[in-house]
Amino acid sequence: MVSARVKVGVMISGRGSNMAALIEASRAPDYPAEIALVLSNKADAPGLAVAAAADVETLALSAKAYADKDAFEAALDAALKARGVEIVCLAGYMRILGRAFVEGWSGRLVNIHPSLLPLYKGLHTHERALADGAREHGCTVHLVTPELDDGPILAQARVPVLAGDDPDRLAARVLAEEHRLYPAALAELARRLRAA
């Protein structure tokens, strides 16, 4: 039997503030998803301790321990499937995933990106928005496809760019929106999955 709440795996490489926002949201009794596993490609990712302190299972796997990228990603896939994960959320996972993994999770693999896609794919989004003189900026939750930062958009949040902004100030304003947007977008996807 499929459990009522959708099991989610969160993949991180770093501090995990979006992961923490997802864990926090999932504590609400009516939230349609639960975080079954936090998976990192870095054993020293600070987010792992945050997840463990919240009583969420964690696992770190190093790509170096595998013969190649496909073998590593097959191990990630197996770890997620072993926990009954149905949706995978990338939350600051800093490796580009290969086609086999991405296609295997098609429609159920989600990412959060700190820009208003399709603007500013890739890295250093805040610096680039400021350099362009953008008046607004924001974040996007999208489904992952093999093309980087290119999949169907699930949700976006906008913030103004203010006089005197530097990349850190702008990033902080965007991050506050990320922490609201990601849990909301995941809830919607989880409800849709259950209704399907």
| Structural tokens at position 83 | 């926990």
Shortest Å distance, C-beta 115 to ligand GRF: 9
Q: Give CA–CA dist 174/18, Å, rounded.
A: 12
Positions in the binding site for ligand GRF (CB under 6 A):
12, 14-19, 47, 91-92, 112-114, 139, 175, 178
Shortest Å distance, C-beta 117 to ligand GRF: 11
Is-contact 182 90, C-beta < 8 A? no
Helix (H, G, I), strand (E, B) or coil at 67: coil
Shortest Å distance, C-beta 24 to ligand GRF: 12
Q: Which is nearer to ligand GRF, 74 or 175 (CB)?
A: 175
Strands 136-143 and 153-160, by their bridges, are antiparallel
* b (16+ CB within 10 A) / e for 143-165: bbbeeebebeebbbbebebeeeb
Cα three-residue angle 76-79-80, rounded to 5 degrees: 90
Q: Which is nearer to ligand GRF, 46 or 84 (CB)?
A: 46
Q: Which is nearer to ligand GRF, 139 or 159 (CB)?
A: 139
Strands of 115-195 (E only): list them: 136-143, 153-160
The closest of 72, 70, 73, 66 to 88, measured between CA atoms, is: 73
Nearest residue by C-beta to ligand GRF?
Answer: 92
Shortest Å distance, C-beta 18 to ligand GRF: 3
**Annotation marks residue 113 as catalytic:** yes
Q: Which is nearer to ligand GRF, 12 or 187 (CB)?
A: 12
Which residue in 113, 126, 142, 179 is the catalytic one? 113
Active-site residue list:
113
